[in-house]
Amino acid sequence: MSVPLRLLLASASPRRRELVGLLGIPVICEPADIDESSLPGEAPGCHVLRVARAKAARVARGHAESPVLAADTTVVVGDTILGKPRDREAARAMLALLSGRTHSVLTAMCLMWGGHVASHLEPATVTFRKLDAALIDWYLASGEGDDKAGAYAVQGLAGALITRVEGNVQAVIGLPLAPLLDLFQKVGIETTAAGAALTLRVQNPS
């Protein structure tokens, strides 16, 4: 029987690690230090796919023996990409922009292993209630959105600001699990159950 594969997660995000952990897959995090700025005229979907692939490629260089998973999430209002706020005032401006309207969230995943590359783009939409200055101040004081795209975390206190999520809420959090299982298959990895956990192994030749 083949030796189980170890998954490398090219991310420092505790939320993404927790989501992979729900599957019971052993994972080691190795953040990828890359420039995540968007390119002039780059569409939001193309941006997150490119960044996710760049993160995976950076970590995969030194780990040919392990599959590498990377993801990138962005918030989009109209044609404007909202990344992580540089400071509290930028976060305040983002929340004011999101107030009382519906916006898009895009999460891209890229999995690299054995010379194979598979990517997936998962969209969702989020609707915010109307936010007054006091509510924005309350949320900013929590610090929860300081390092989050769009300056909020749907799984945390921001749940009090959000009236509706359409699509896979895990895409808003940062790593949708259902399409992740498909990515494993596409690069030649099978997932087998071991009690309540999943084990990653090389697919048997058909």
Active site residues: 72
Question: How far are the Cα atoms of 145, 156, 196 from residue 192, in angstroms, in the given order?
Answer: 36, 32, 10
The DSSP output letter for 161 is: T
Residue 201 burial (10 A CB sphere; 0-12, 13-18, 19+): middle
Amino acid at 128: F
Looking up tokens 């692939």, which residue turns up? 53
Amino acid at 148: K
Tokens of 8: 């490398």
- The closest of 23, 180, 21, 15 to 109, measured between CA atoms, is 180
Region for residue 145 given its phi and psi (left: phi exceeds 0; alpha: psi -120 to 50; beta: otherwise)? alpha
Q: What is the 3-state secondary structure (H, E, C) of 86-136?
A: CCHHHHHHHHHHHCCCEEEEEEEEEEEECCEEEEEEEEEEEEECCCCHHHH
